[in-house]
Amino acid sequence: MSESLAIVAGIIFVTVAAVNVIVMLEASQHGVQIPYGCRQGLCGTRATRVLSGTVRMDTEDGLTAEQKNAGYVLPCVGRAEGAVVVAA
Ligand code: FES
């Protein structure tokens, strides 16, 4: 699988196939700019829902408990573990 993006009903779906890459940086390489603030996983700017695959977080201090339970990650510090799809 290669990286791709699709836009459905105003939501951008980004597929990242590279392993151990920061999701936000990989999306940027493919033309999807995910808004950010601190880039350290602290401010919670643009928490993003993982639709498939696994994203490992370097830190998740910027997420609420509800966001964690709902499958959100912080693309600024989230690393893809295999192919992932996120709604940016
Ligand atoms: S930019 Fe602050 S948590 Fe991602």
Per-residue pLDDT 10s for the chain (88 aa) are 456 666 666 667 778 777 888 988 888 887 888 889 999 999 999 899 998 899 999 899 999 999 999 999 999 999 998 888 888 7
- How far is the C-alpha of 46 from the C-alpha of 55, rounded, in Å? 15
> b/e map of 51-81 (b: 16 or more CB within 10 Å)?
eeeebebeebebbeeebeeeebbbbbbbbbe
Domains annotated for the chain, with CATH where assigned, are 11-87 (3.10.20.30)
- How far is the C-alpha of 75 from the C-alpha of 40, rounded, in Å? 10
Distance 9 CA to ligand 1 centre (A): 25
List Cα–Cα distances, 78 to 17, 23, 26, 62, in angstroms.
14, 6, 11, 12
Probe target for ligand 1 pocket from 46, 61, 73, 86, with the most ligand atoms within 8 Å of CB? 46
